[in-house]
Each structure stands twice: as C-alpha cells, then as structure tokens.
C-alpha cells in the first residue's frame, strides 16, 4: 500500500480541525454544573478520587495527576479493581470524579451503589446527559462531541481530548481559587527544573571546608596559583589575619597582573587581589546566585557568613551541574 503525503497532510489537518472544534464547543459547558463540581472539589476535606475505564481511564489518570500537582490532592482508582477491594481507598471525606463518554461503562456503573452508600459526592464527566452515570451524579459535566476525529468514528479521539481539556479547566480553576503559587508547585515538583530553581539553596551545593580555595594575605602569588590549581575553581579567596575575607584573586586578575610584567614569584597576593568583590550568603536561592553571576559576568562567588568569613565557594559549573542553568 502506497503512502501519499498530500493525503496524510489532509487527514492530519482534519483531525486537528475536528478536535479543535470539540475543544471550542466546551466553552458553552462552563455552566452551573461546572461551578458545582468546582465547589465540591474545593470543599473536599479528603481527596478527589478519579476513575474511568479504557481510554477514559488514561485521561482520568492524567487528570488525577494534574489535580495532585496543582494543589488538589487526588489519585486514580481503576473501576475494575475497585470492585475487588480498591473501593476501600475511598473515604467519606472524598469526592469521586468518574469519566465515561457513554455514561454506561459497566465497570463504572457497578461501583455507583457503593459510592452512594459511602455517601461521597459524585462528579460525572460524560458525553451523554441521559446516561445512568450522568443521572446518578451530584454534578454532571457535559463533554459530548459532535464527532470523533477518527474517520471510522470508532477510536476515542475528540471525546478523550475534550475530557482532558475539561479536566485541565477544573484543575486550573481550583488552582486559582486556592491561591496555589509557584512555590507550592515547586514543593510538589522537587525533581523538576522549576522545583530546583525555587527550592535549591546555595548552602545545598556550595563547596565547603577544605574544598574552598583560601590563602592568607601574606601568601605569594605563586602559592595562590597552586591553591587555585588544586581547587579548580578559577579563583581563590584571600583572608586577613582574623580569617575574614579581604579580597579575591581570579584567572582574570592573573592575566591583568602579567600584562603589567609583575613578578609572580616575589609579590604577595595581598598586593594583587581585588578588594571590592561580590560575595553572597549561604541562605539565598541558587537561582539568585546564578543571576548575580550573569549580571556581574563572573564565574564564581565566595560565600561569607555574618562575620564576613568565607564558609563556601560556588561556581557556574556547580549551578549547571545542579540543573539551575
């Protein structure tokens, strides 16, 4: 069988058009039932239990994950497994969100009497207002579509897209209503790039102890170079006789020093160091340290304590390795 590119493009564009129309039609369904569903989920003292079978089950799992990551505790329960013990996961403090395009999915209908007995509110998301599930629900959200994008009219396409989008509408509406913030999002996504930017502190990734490049003011430049070479940070902090940071000496300082033909073997580092340098505190975000480096166009920072003593060192490489950049 031959593959004709023009026909493929035509079919793909048709799918996008049909599903786009299905999504646009949802705007008319943001009605009192949608608001009731939001209220039920907003006032839920337990968790939102999302269920669905087949393709609707996959969408239900995604909706549960989106709710959970945006401030509404939720989890997915397979309706088939629910009939064999998993209904015990549902408590009287929960709200159930059930998905079924037909509203007549056997595995979902089977557990409805138990949901009623437990006494939890039921939100139904179906494509049939007259279905058993829709009539049983405390609140029904209509996600019906004019047609599936599948040319055979069989594979769930537009219908699953509509359900997914309506699930996002619920999740984001609740997010706003609950005052969910970027910091809250980071707490539930500590492994993601946003989580790292909002949670990782300088103290979590800075070099400490013997890893900090340090030399006294009285050291020769050659000794400072040995320290810089050993610690591999492209700089060293210089401390005074009280152990406080007095200056910094970088690769750039060395190049400028050599341009003036100074003697690196006989000159004290205190004579060549940069006294006015940028330092940071350990309790700031690593992302803030990155911004400082970018603004100052530097590749490393000394971390000082309240007494201006060096307690750490941080390089751009450390930030890149931590996933901040």
Interior/surface letters 152-179, b for 16+ CB within 10 angstroms, e for the rest: eeeebbbbbbbbbbbbebbbebbbeeee
Is residue 78 marked as binding? Answer: yes
Q: Which of these, 276, 287, 295, lies nearest to 319 by C-alpha position? A: 287
How far apart, in whole angstroms, are the C-alpha atoms of residue 67 and residue 109?
24
Tokens of 308: 């201006």
Q: Rg (Cα) of the chain, in Å, rounded?
A: 31
Q: Is-contact 282 203, C-beta < 8 A?
A: yes
How many CB atoms sit inside 10 A of residue 37's CB?
A: 26
How many CB atoms sit inside 10 A of residue 68's CB?
A: 18
Q: Is-contact 237 213, C-beta < 8 A?
A: yes
CA 276 to chain centre: 38
Q: Is-contact 146 21, C-beta < 8 A?
A: yes
Q: Is-contact 99 60, C-beta < 8 A?
A: yes
Q: Which of these, 233, 188, 196, lies nearest to 322 by C-alpha position? A: 196
Q: Is-contact 195 186, C-beta < 8 A?
A: yes
Tokens of 142: 């209509």
Tokens of 289: 């340290």
Packed helices 32-42 and 158-177: angle between N→C axes, nearest 10 degrees? 60
- The helix or strand, by DSSP H or E, that contains position 34, with its residue range, turns out to be helix 32-42
Q: Which of these, 135, 120, 110, lies nearest to 44 by C-alpha position? A: 120
Task: List binding-site positions.
Answer: 78
Q: Which residues are annotated as a binding site for Zn(2+)?
A: 78
């Amino acid at each position: 069988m031959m593959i004709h590119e023009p026909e493929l493009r035509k079919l793909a564009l048709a799918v996008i058009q049909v599903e786009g129309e299905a999504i646009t039609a949802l705007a008319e369904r943001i009605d009192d039932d949608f608001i009731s569903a939001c209220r039920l989920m907003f006032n839920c003292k337990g968790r939102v239990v999302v269920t669905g079978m087949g393709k609707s089950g996959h969408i239900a799992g995604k909706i549960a994950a989106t709710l959970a990551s945006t401030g509404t505790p939720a989890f997915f329960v397979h309706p088939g497994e629910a009939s064999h013990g998993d209904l015990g996961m549902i408590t009287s403090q929960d709200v159930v969100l059930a998905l079924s395009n037909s509203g007549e999915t056997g595995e979902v209908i089977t557990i409805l009497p138990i949901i009623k007995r437990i006494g939890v509110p039921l939100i139904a998301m179906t494509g049939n207002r007259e279905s058993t599930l829709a009539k049983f629900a405390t609140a029904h959200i209509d996600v019906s579509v004019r047609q599936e994008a599948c040319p055979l009219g069989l594979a769930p396409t537009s219908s699953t897209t509509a359900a997914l989008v309506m699930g996002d509408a619920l999740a984001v509406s609740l997010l706003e209503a609950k005052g969910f913030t970027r910091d809250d999002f980071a707490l539930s996504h500590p492994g993601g790039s946003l989580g790292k930017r909002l949670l990782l502190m300088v103290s979590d990734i800075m070099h400490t102890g013997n890893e900090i490049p340090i030399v006294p003011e009285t050291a020769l430049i050659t000794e400072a170079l040995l320290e810089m070479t050993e610690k591999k940070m492209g700089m060293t902090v210089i401390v005074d006789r009280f152990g406080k940071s007095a200056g910094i000496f970088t690769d750039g300082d060395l190049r400028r020093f050599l341009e003036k033909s100074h003697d690196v073997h006989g000159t004290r580092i205190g004579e060549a160091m940069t006294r006015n340098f940028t330092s940071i505190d350990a309790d700031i975000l690593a992302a803030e340290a990155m911004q400082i480096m970018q603004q100052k166009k530097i590749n490393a920072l000394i971390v000082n304590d309240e007494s201006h003593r060096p307690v750490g060192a941080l390089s751009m490489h450390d930030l890149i390795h931590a996933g901040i950049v």
